Amino acid sequence: MGRRFRRSDPAPRPLGPVPGAERVEELDGEEWYVRSVTGAGAAKTYRCPGCDHQVVPGAPHLVAWPVHGGLAERRHWHSACWRARSRRRPSGRRP
């Protein structure tokens, strides 16, 4: 009694109780949940932490939030900026 685990889930790596997360990727030595956002689902303007430019409504992009920080710390990135995040330098980047 009480066994409610379902072992038929085909997901290779269960992400736990995080609705919407598609995968886990690394940023600055931390693990982040990542989810793609289609243009149709984007209704607001966000600021991309990768390039410090706007992510405009209707633009396909992705949202990432730290595994240990939670959804409240989610950020919206241009897809290309997220892929290039490892080349980002916290300091020393010249304009």
Q: Which residues bind Zn ion (CB under 5 A)?
A: 48, 50-51, 78, 81
Nearest to 79 by CA among 17, 29, 22: 22
Shortest reach from residue 73's CB to Zn ion, in Å:
18
Identify any residues that bridge with 62 across adjacent strands, giving them in sequence order.
36, 77
Whose Cβ is closer to Zn ion: residue 34's or residue 51's?
A: 51
Whose Cβ is closer to Zn ion: residue 33's or residue 50's?
A: 50
Residue 41 CA neighbour count, 13 Å, CB half: 10
Helix, strand or coil for residue 23? strand
Shortest reach from residue 3's CB to Zn ion, in Å:
46
Shortest reach from residue 9's CB to Zn ion, in Å:
34
